[in-house]
Amino acid sequence: MESNFTIKQAAATSAFLLAGLLVVSYFAGMGAQFLVFLGVWAVIILAALAMPHVSYKQISVSAMYILLASTFLNQTLLSIKVGFFTLFLYRLILIAAAFIFMVHVARDRELPRYWSGVQVKGVMLFLLFWLAYGGVSLLWAKSVVDGIKYLFLLGIGVVFVFLAVFTFTSINRLLMVYAIWMLMTVFLMIIGLVNHFFDFQLPTSTLYGGPQYKLSYPTSVFFNQNDFATFLTLSFFFYLAAAKNSTHASVKTISIMLAFLAVYLIYLTESRASLLAVIAGLGVYFFLILPRGLKKITGCLGAAVATLAIFMMFSKFEKLFSLLFSPSGYQARYEALPSNEARLNLLKNTMHYLGESFGFGVGAGNISFYLKNEPVFHTNYVVEVHNWLAEILGNFGLIVFLGYAVMYLYLFFSLFKMYGTGGRKEKTLIEASMLAMVAFLVSSISPSTMINLYFHWVFLGFVISVVSVMNTAGTVPNPRKWGQSPYKNIV
């Protein structure tokens, strides 16, 4: 026992010292090669210390936690160009985590058991289909290089989701993911405050070296303020759910303060979509806590308003259809457009390309190529769609878009059916996932693209893992009847 404790102590000390060296070497400008050198030796030393005392499965789980934490650092510590790809710290750790997992399942022959334990097989198969469709779409893509780049980003996102679902198979592990997300958000919000009050931007930001009036926008470790705002939108509901369901006054207080800080930083970014996303998520939250009778009335009113809106849109559908899909060309206007009109034109272009491709999409990663080289409507020379759902629709067509929509609705309504069951831990995970899913749909129109925002894939992997774990316990008796949480025995 004492020997094991000594080994763990030595491993933790080594990890701390090596992490400190990595940070110091980064700010001292010692170069990416030296960082990689230190990182390799860190892995070798820690592996040598840990291997005699832990299993491959334990190493795999630990690697996933390290990977999870590294995703929030973005490109701040390491960025190495390899051809037209860039290797970041989290991508290197992802490769290592995937390798360790494959060694574990091959050595212990546990892959069939992992797959049989997954309760969201349809979701996982859709993600594989998405990748396969993207590969086939290169046959008609005009820019194969852009397509390969995009599929690389899509692939590493899907790999993380698979590793997450196979690894985070218990409530305790999901809570660890939840805690890492909230703790890393604090770190990123501190950087955001430094951005704002000291007009200081990291080199990874597009505002780095920019005009003085832009330096106060909070960007943290992200490319721009819109990316950061979308991340904070998700984090707000993580803090809100923790504050609502915690029994400790200190945790409630700190979580509420951090939630307000997240909203304040979103306000400083001036991301209107993210502020609307917070409002939309709060609207769903208030709907959830309404009494059952009021829920029915509110639901009926909402359905009536939605029906009226659809009817009003349908009366203009013919005109809209001819505007978006008419095969005749359009003369682009090259004067500067208001932001809202430019964004609308981005959607018009996307729908036009969808019609021209007969609903199959222009090919993986090619929507930006079309917007740059074959614009139909003027977009102020913006070449990204700035709408995640439209990006999927334009690149991959109706089949993948509908599949994504069905997947998203399935995950949301699975969580909705589970709402109100289980203990406080389960309610925290369910509420955070549901509300953040609603907010994400609105906030995802703010960043230029979501494919390279890795926290989006972390969030998706987290939600899918929550649904899988909760469905595993779906046959347990009603907890309200038996007075217990149906998930407490899941390991």
Indicate whether 50 and 196 sit together in one domain: no
State residue 437's pLDDT score.
96
pLDDT at 243 over 80: yes
Q: Within a domain: residue 307?
A: yes
State residue 364's pLDDT score.
94
**Cα separation, 196 vs 216, whole angstroms:** 4
pLDDT at 327 over 60: no
Q: Within a domain: residue 305?
A: yes
Indicate whether 63 and 45 sit together in one domain: no
**Cα separation, 448 vs 432, whole angstroms:** 25
pLDDT at 199 over 50: yes
pLDDT tens digits for range 396-439: 999 999 999 999 999 999 999 998 777 889 999 999 999 999 99
Instruction: List CB contacts of 151: < 8 A, sequence separation 6 or more.
Output: 131, 134, 135, 138, 364, 365
Indicate whether 294 and 437 sit together in one domain: yes
State residue 206's pLDDT score.
87
Q: For the chain, give the percent of residues with pLDDT over 70.
A: 75
Which of 48-57, 351-360, 461-470 has the least mean pLDDT? 48-57
The band of 475, judged by pLDDT with boundaries at 50, 70 and 90, is very low
3-state secondary structure of 168: coil
**Cα separation, 422 vs 488, whole angstroms:** 9
R_g of the chain computed on alpha carbons:
24
State residue 211's pLDDT score.
84
The band of 103, judged by pLDDT with boundaries at 50, 70 and 90, is confident
**Torsion angle of alpha carbons 416, 422, 428, 430, nearest 10°?**
-20
Q: Within a domain: residue 468?
A: no
pLDDT tens digits for range 222-232: 999 999 999 99
pLDDT at 29 over 70: no
Mean pLDDT calculated for residue range 329-339: 59
State residue 84's pLDDT score.
59
Q: Within a domain: residue 464?
A: no
305/138: higher pLDDT: 138
Indicate whether 283 and 431 sit together in one domain: yes
Rounded to 5°, the CA angle 100-103-109 comes to 135
Indicate whether 66 and 48 sit together in one domain: no
The band of 331, judged by pLDDT with boundaries at 50, 70 and 90, is very low
Indicate whether 228 and 242 sit together in one domain: yes
State residue 482's pLDDT score.
32
The band of 208, judged by pLDDT with boundaries at 50, 70 and 90, is confident
Q: Within a domain: residue 155?
A: no
pTM: 0.84
Q: Within a domain: residue 372?
A: no
Indicate whether 281 and 424 sit together in one domain: yes
State residue 465's pLDDT score.
96
Indicate whether 177 and 253 sit together in one domain: yes
Cα separations in angstroms, 61 against 104, 302, 457 = 11, 44, 18
Q: Within a domain: residue 484?
A: no
State residue 240's pLDDT score.
95
105/336: higher pLDDT: 105
Indicate whether 46 and 71 sit together in one domain: no
Domain that holds residue 31: 1-54
State residue 476's pLDDT score.
37
Indicate whether 92 and 189 sit together in one domain: no
Q: Within a domain: residue 355?
A: no
Please say whether the dihedral angle defined by the alpha carbons of residues 364, 365, 366 and 371, taken in this order, is positive or negative: positive
Where does residue 338 fall: left (phi above 0), alpha (psi -120 to 50 degrees), or beta otherwise? Answer: beta
Q: Give how many domains the chain has, as a whole number.
A: 3
If you average pLDDT over each of 86-100, 262-276, 374-388, 460-474, which comes out highest?
A: 262-276
Please return the burial class of 354, using the count of CB atoms within 10 Å of its CB with bins 0-12, 13-18 and 19+: buried
State residue 329's pLDDT score.
43
Say which DSSP state 332 is in.
P
State residue 214's pLDDT score.
85
Question: In the predicted model, what is the mean pLDDT of the chain?
Answer: 82
Mean pLDDT calculated for residue range 343-352: 89
Indicate whether 50 and 63 sit together in one domain: no
Indicate whether 197 and 280 sit together in one domain: yes
pLDDT tens digits for range 132-189: 999 999 999 999 999 999 999 999 999 999 999 999 999 999 999 999 999 999 999 9
State residue 5's pLDDT score.
52
Which of 53-62, 314-323, 370-379, 447-456 has the least mean pLDDT? 314-323
Q: Which two tokens stand for residue 47?
A: 């592996």
